[in-house]
A and B are shown apart, each in its own frame.
Chain A
Amino acid sequence: MPRDPQRFVPLRPVEFLVLVSLAEGDLHGYGLTQAIDERSEGAVRLEPGNLYKVLKRLVADGLIESAGHRPAADLENERRHYYRLTRLGERVVALEARRIAALVASPAVRSLVKRFAPAT
């Protein structure tokens, strides 16, 4: 069932963070929250309810899927539920990444960043 990835962009920031984190490899819930925490420099912190609301939506949209339960090396080998990107998910996250990159590269945004958030 091929679906048009364009339909899904722009993504919500949280969804983008989840997809980007999964693009580097399958992750369980805890791993995802860790990855998002790092990637957003602590700005986005997901509690279980909130995270699974996002995952539920992404699963329903067909952007991610379950990768089954398996022992987690980082969690004393307890079995955890892993998630991974679908093909559609990969294309959507790539599309969104390109959109954001283009946005960030635009002169208007660059001058804004220079004026209001100068690099330290």
Chain B
Amino acid sequence: MTHRRRSWSERAYTALLRLLPDEIRRDFGGDMRELFTDHLRTERRRAGIGGVLRLWLRTIPDLVYTAFHERERDMLTAISQDARYAGRILRKHPVFTVVAILVVALGVGAVSTIVSVANSVVLRPVPGLARPDELVVIERMNSENTGTTSVSYPYYQHLAHESRRMRGIAAWDVLTLTISTGGEGLLTQANLVTGNYFGVLGTRPALGRFFTADEDDAANPKPVVVISHGLWERRFGGDSAIVGHTVLVNKLPFTVIGVAPTGFSGLYPILRVDAWVPMAMQPTVRRGGDLLTSVGSGWLELFGRLAPGVSHDAAQTELAGLTERFAATTEQSVHGGAAGFAGFAGIRLTTPSALPGNATRSALTFFAILMVLAGLVLAIASVNVASMLLARATMRRREIAIRIALGAARARLVRQLLTESVILFAAGGAGGALLAVYATRLLSRMQLPVDVQLNVDVSPDARVLAVTIAVALITGLVFGLAPALDGSRADVALVMRGDSAGSGRARSRLRSVLVAGQAAASLLLLITSGLFVRALAKGHRIDPGYDVHHVATAALDVSLSGYDSTRARALYAALHDRLRVLDKVTAVAYARVLPLTGTTTGFGINVPGYTPTPREKARGLSAHTNVVSAEFFDALRLPIIAGRKLLPSDRAGAPRVAVVSELFAGKFWPGQNPLGRTFTLGDTNPITVVGVARNVKFADLTETPAPSMYLPLAQEWTSGVTLLVRTSGDPNALAAPIRDAVHSLDATLPPPAVVSFEDATAVSLLPQRFAVIVTATLGALGLLLASIGLYGVVSFTTAQRTREIGVRMALGATAADVVRLVVRGGMSVVVIGIVIGLAAGAIATQILRPLLFGIDPLDGATFVAMPLLLALAALVASVLPARRAANADPMMALRED
């Protein structure tokens, strides 16, 4: 054996050989070191330090690879050993295990449910589209550049013909159609689409074919229709003979030429579409006259497919240029001149996502907020489990110490303890996934009071399940690491001596930090849900200006069933008479717009004698407008302050009249009597003000009232109306009588959906209502979990201090002293958490401001009540274990341990 001085390389190599399993090292370690030395000598001689470095570059991967290769089986054995051991330990403490798994399941379930809803609403890929990354939504910015506007058909044609950087541009519009096969009609949500619509999307029919170019020729329109897979199955029993058959669309014969693929619902799968009709049929199926030649009417949405290799920016530049050119050439010919085209301010290209336009961003923000809240619940739950593990590590001090004394490596112990927590979290994750399946099923059953039909399938898919499992495992590792590191650090000598103070100060400090964090997180949750509850309560207290109770509503449009205006007037009059005589019914009216459903209609007006501001001059004067029948003011109990309401005598041909709002009167005739004054609607026919109505909320509860007016339906006829029936009884009981009345007048009309006005207006509080349900659930969950956590920690520390408490009592401390002592310990930590939670809440809730109906995000009531609620829960959680400790027999306590 030669004894020469070893170089650092040799020493490093010797150290690295420890990576190999002992057996290999024993048999070949010496040989390998010798071989390395020989290589080293050669390399050093040949290329100096560079050679040595190159040798290392080869050697390290070689060693690591060899180590992995040799240990592969060991590692698998070790993992399965750890898992078996962990399983045994967990089975031995079933209460601990079940509680821990339940707690994790609640936390993971909350996250998984939110992810699942977000996934299906916003993130899931749209079915039936080819190469979706090439598709772009083309939007024209409005004149203020604050949002986008719909576009006209000539403008669409201009873009579609001139663009070279887009492979194709298609246009579409939503409309309602009545589809029937002879009997009772079915109201369906449909799209009016250009002939290339399916081609640009790259969709293939499930059956039959899509539109051909000549079917979308405005000069020679063909009555053809493509139906959705869903409609085909529901209405036509999935019969493939449907292709080529004739169905009645708005009472007109249309040929079914194809069936769209399963799940296909256009660019926005959440909006249910059941039929597609070629654009050329617009004058026949859609109100508004012939829109195909009108340059001034914006009613279409556009999307397109980028030509190969063209970037968003390049396409946008081209389309903006085309838009300017179009504006320049058509300016003179358009009613309103240049002003009408101020709207061609810019073009925006966006990648299509599951929701139209800006809705995606606000939905994502909303979900992000909910995700953070759900994440907080999971964090609280995980902290609970972490402190349970910590507590157990303390109890297992002796077991761990013995294993260390017997030579167990620390790394091995950490791995063992980590395996336990990962198994707990994995089981909890599975439970969370089950909870999410159940919770999303509940959510899908929630009826949305909106008149658009939505495809809502929020059930978790494989992606959500994968995320759930990953979340559970990662939290298991993260929250298991601290207890595992801590648990494996038992001081053998101390423990063996039986010193129960061996748990150490660091451990109890860690536990306090965890509890404070939980309190802070749960306070944040409580504050959020408190603010939403306050906002919802305020929303309910907002007086819309009329009585929303005891009114049944139903949307009607008989023009979709082939009625012209004369027949429609007669039918609506007959329906009015039939319903008016029903028991308890006190008023029957029609209105073009159902108030408080988010819809605003504005008519442009001219008021003689009024000097518009420059801004009004530029944009034109307008007022919120509703077109209503005579009993409208009775049906909604909308008070008339001066003059009269509209009367049945305000019929077509009679002098034109209007009822205006107080604000309308005050704005245009300040300080004067508005009755008898006149204004016009663009044309020259003067309209005389006959009454003044109270100011009301028009579209939603949060709006600031604007000047509004009511015109008699008979003088501004439209067949698309909402029926309003006031009753002295339950409005929902009117559903059957209303449907019967419609059916008895014309059996082929689709049965109207009857909704109480209260439910219909609930849509204006929908985001708040949803937020309250979700945040209140999360808040309650967070409070419960945090209280359980605090209870656990206080019970545990109290149990650890049994001997100390016994000594105190033996020395004369009363039970009350002991309770105070223990409670003070628990509460001091919670108070720190409350302070942190308040600070975090003050900052974080600012982002909720737009959803709060003007409730201050620093709302005093919430910021006082919620900490009190948390403190109360914490008090209960620490008094219970404190009383138990105080009631213990001091002698027993002293003898313990």
Contact = CB atoms under 8 A, between A and B. Distances in A.
Interface of A: 28-30, 33, 45, 47-53, 55-56, 75, 78-81
A55 B39 CA distance: 18
A11 B35 CA distance: 24
Interface stretch (B23-31, B125-133, B201-209, B479-487): B23-31
A30 B39 contact: yes
A49 B2 CA distance: 24
B22 interface: no
A81 B63 contact: no
A47 B34 contact: no
Which of B41, B63, B66, B69 neighbours the largest number of chain A CB atoms within 10 Å of its CB?
A: B66
A51 B35 CA distance: 10
A47 to B, nearest CB: 4
B58 A47 contact: yes
Contact of A50 (B1, B66, B67): B66
Interface string B10-53: 00000000001000100110111111101101000000000000
B616 interface: no
Contacts of A52: 24, 28, 31-32, 35, 66
Contacts of B294: none
A55 to B, nearest CB: 7
A51 B31 CA distance: 10
29 contacts: A29-B32, A30-B38, A47-B58, A47-B62, A48-B31, A48-B32, A48-B36, A48-B39, A48-B62, A49-B20, A49-B32, A49-B62, A49-B66, A50-B62, A50-B65, A50-B66, A51-B35, A52-B24, A52-B28, A53-B66, A53-B69, A53-B70, A75-B38, A75-B41, A78-B34, A79-B2, A80-B34, A81-B31, A81-B34
A81 B33 CA distance: 11
Contacts of A79: 1-2
B59 interface: yes
Contacts of A80: 34
A47 B57 CA distance: 11
Given A33-B35, A47-B59, A79-B1, 20 more contacts: A28-B34, A29-B35, A30-B34, A45-B58, A48-B32, A48-B33, A48-B35, A48-B63, A49-B66, A50-B65, A52-B24, A52-B31, A52-B35, A53-B66, A55-B31, A56-B24, A56-B27, A79-B2, A81-B30, A81-B31
B54 to A, nearest CB: 12
A12 to B, nearest CB: 15
The 10 closest A-B pairs by CB, nearest first: A49-B66, A47-B62, A30-B38, A29-B35, A48-B32, A52-B28, A49-B62, A48-B35, A81-B31, A48-B36
B501 to A, nearest CB: 49
A45 B59 CA distance: 12
A66 B287 CA distance: 97
Contacts of B36: 48
A29 B63 contact: no
A114 B67 CA distance: 43
Nearest to B36: A48
Contacts of A51: 35
Contact of A49 (B34, B38, B41, B63): B63
A45 B30 CA distance: 20
Interface string B678-689: 000000000000
Nearest to A77: B2
B135 to A, nearest CB: 48
Contacts of B59: 47-48
B52 to A, nearest CB: 14
A79 B3 CA distance: 12
Interface of B: 1-2, 20, 24, 27-28, 30-36, 38-39, 41, 58-59, 62-63, 65-67, 69-70
A29 B69 contact: no
Tell which of B1, B28, B41, B65 has the most Cβ of chain A within 10 Å. B28
The interface centre, meaning the residue of A33, A45, A55, A78 with most chain B CB atoms within 10 A of its CB, is A78
Nearest to B38: A30
Contacts of A30: 34-35, 38-39
A13 to B, nearest CB: 18
B371 to A, nearest CB: 47
Q: Which of A28, A29, A47 has the most CB of B within 10 A?
A: A47
Contacts of B34: 28-30, 78, 80-81
Contacts of B2: 78-79
A55 B41 CA distance: 23
Given A48-B35, A48-B59, A55 B28 contact: yes
A75 B38 CA distance: 8
Contacts of B63: 48-49
B398 to A, nearest CB: 42
Contacts of B28: 52, 55-56
A65 to B, nearest CB: 13
A45 B70 CA distance: 20
A55 B70 CA distance: 14
Contacts of A48: 31-33, 35-36, 39, 59, 62-63
A44 to B, nearest CB: 13
Interface centre among B27, B31, B62, B66 (most CB of A within 10 A): B31
Nearest to A29: B35
A45 B20 CA distance: 21
A51 B30 CA distance: 13
A30 B35 CA distance: 5
Contacts of A53: 66, 69-70
Nearest to B41: A75
Contacts of B69: 53
Nearest to A49: B66
A48 B62 CA distance: 8
A30 B1 CA distance: 18
B30 A49 contact: no
A51 B24 CA distance: 13
A37 B67 CA distance: 24
A19 B33 CA distance: 22
A96 B33 CA distance: 31
A28 B31 CA distance: 9
A48 B31 CA distance: 8
Contacts of B38: 29-30, 75
A53 B30 CA distance: 14
Contacts of A50: 62, 65-66
Contact of B65 (A45, A49, A78): A49
Nearest to A81: B31
Contacts of B20: 49
Contacts of B24: 52, 56
Nearest to B67: A49
A59 to B, nearest CB: 9
Contacts of A78: 2, 34
Contacts of A55: 28, 31
B305 to A, nearest CB: 46
Among B27, B35, B39, max chain A CB count under 10 A is at: B35
Contacts of A75: 38, 41
A1 B59 CA distance: 38
Nearest to B33: A48
B418 to A, nearest CB: 29
A36 to B, nearest CB: 12
Contacts of B31: 29, 48, 52, 55, 81
A116 B169 CA distance: 54
A111 B254 CA distance: 72
Nearest to B63: A49
B762 to A, nearest CB: 71
Contacts of B30: 81
A49 B16 CA distance: 12
